[in-house]
């Protein structure tokens, strides 16, 4: 079946469908990960986006339910150079094509994703339509132009979950409230590994309700879209600062920046992939990190007396981490839970538990 990916600037990519027979609008971005397509497909942070994979062969190890980062796919569409119809993996439960069709995800193969990636790098991420239904190029370009962009759009309400409690057998040392703005499952797994009992609550949960759980700490999760549009979470975050240890990841980092009085801005084409170099400014160590974001905190907008920059991206020198100098608050723009990707930054979960331990000891002294 034929498929077309049409960009708002008039650029057209014709290929073959290997997903559902549907039409989807979204912001087209590229991801440079060589593996982990399943985790990418099921990452709620990709809500509202059509993802082009730069690695040329996708689908060759199939789909394994255990590796999902959420209950279902959230991205609007997938674009690849070549889709593998054969899944060579003893763990595989089904092929990628079947999974995409079951979940009504649009997908196109047979296009030059190198050309698409170079175009996005030069022109920037932009609105697009991926369709197997309407194959009229002019019509699709108009639909792309007329579609709703990500700036100012609250996508968190579309991905946040219900209240859930996660823990392993035995007594957990720390109680953590996870403010679910589209949290990946591996965040919960890493918290549990570090001795935490996790209470996941919907993004709309107010600060006082979170504090009524008497948590040792709060984790602000990743999620999709424009952080400035999620004002209710920013207000909740502001109400938590100084009252409980806070760790922000990705969108959580951005919302924390806004709650601290800073600004965010949209990057030209964002950071999407598992090979982003980040430097720890305290130790000088460089970690290869997993990232998926189109917005960034403007470090210049934050009060330097209270906030210090802890990490920078070595590709473009954008802010990748910050810490409050007086309060138990820190955050990173990248994904320390690393699913998929390298585990260089997983130590940050231990830093969070250390912060909670210190906070607990301080409360006892007073």
Among all residues, which ones are annotated catalytic? 250, 335, 337
3-state secondary structure 137-179: HHHHHHHHHHCCCCCCCCCHHHCCCCCEEECCCCCCCEEEEEE
Helix axes 231-240, 251-259, angle to 10 degrees: 70
- Compute the distance between CA of residue 34 and CA of residue 252 in angstroms, rounded to an integer: 26
- Name the token pair of 80: 């690849």
Neighbour count for residue 243 (Cβ, 10 Å)? 14
Taking phi first (over 0 means left), then psi (-120 to 50 degrees means alpha), and beta for anything else, what does residue 30 get?
A: beta
What radius of gyration, in Å, describes the C-alpha atoms of the chain?
20
- Name the token pair of 240: 């938590």
Query: Sign of the C-alpha dihedral, residues 146, 204, 174, 257?
Result: positive
- Backbone phi, then psi, for 327, in 5-degree steps? -105, 160
- Compute the distance between CA of residue 349 and CA of residue 327 in angstroms, rounded to an integer: 18
- Compute the distance between CA of residue 46 and CA of residue 42 in angstroms, rounded to an integer: 8
- Name the token pair of 291: 């990232």
Residue 353: which of 211, 168, 190, 186 has the closest Cα? 190
- Name the token pair of 98: 């079947």
Burial 50-85, CB ≥16 within 10 A → b, else e: bbbbbbeebbbbbbeeebbbbeebbbbbbbbbbbbe
Cis upstream peptide for 225 (omega within 30°): no
Beta-bridge partner residues of 331: 248, 322
């Amino acid at each position: 079946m034929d498929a077309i990916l049409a960009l708002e600037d008039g650029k057209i990519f014709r290929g073959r469908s290997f997903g559902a027979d549907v039409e989807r609008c979204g912001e087209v971005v590229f991801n440079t990960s060589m593996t982990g397509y399943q985790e990418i497909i099921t990452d709620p942070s990709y809500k509202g986006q059509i993802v082009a994979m730069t690695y040329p062969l996708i689908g060759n190890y199939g789909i394994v339910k255990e590796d999902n980062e959420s209950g279902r796919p959230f991205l609007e569409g997938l674009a690849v150079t070549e889709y593998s119809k054969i899944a060579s993996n003893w763990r595989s439960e089904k092929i990628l094509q079947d999974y995409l069709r079951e979940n009504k995800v649009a997908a196109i193969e047979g296009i030059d994703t190198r050309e698409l990636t170079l175009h996005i790098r030069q022109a920037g991420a932009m609105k697009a339509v991926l369709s197997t239904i309407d194959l009229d190029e002019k019509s699709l370009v108009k639909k792309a132009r007329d579609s709703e962009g990500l700036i100012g759009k609250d996508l968190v309400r579309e991905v946040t979950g219900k209240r859930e409690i996660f823990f392993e057998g035995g007594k957990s040392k720390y109680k953590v409230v996870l403010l679910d703005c589209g949290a990946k499952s591996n965040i919960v797994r890493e918290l549990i590994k570090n001795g935490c009992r996790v209470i996941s609550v919907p993004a709309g949960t107010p600060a006082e309700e979170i504090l009524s759980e008497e948590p040792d700490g709060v984790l602000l999760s990743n999620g999709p879209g424009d952080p400035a549009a999620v004002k209710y979470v920013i207000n909740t975050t502001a109400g938590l600062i100084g009252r409980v240890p806070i760790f922000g990841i990705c969108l959580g980092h951005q919302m924390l920046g806004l709650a601290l009085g800073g600004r965010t801005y949209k990057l030209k084409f964002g950071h999407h992939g598992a090979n982003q170099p980040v430097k720890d400014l305290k130790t000088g160590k460089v970690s290869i990190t997993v990232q998926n974001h189109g917005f960034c905190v403007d470090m210049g907008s934050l009060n330097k007396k209270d906030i210090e920059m802890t990490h920078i991206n070595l590709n473009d020198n954008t802010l990748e981490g910050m810490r409050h100098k007086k309060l138990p608050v820190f955050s990173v723009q990248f994904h320390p839970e690393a699913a998929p990707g390298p585990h260089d930054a997983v130590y940050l979960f231990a830093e969070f538990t250390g912060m909670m331990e210190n906070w607990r000891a301080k409360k006892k002294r007073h």
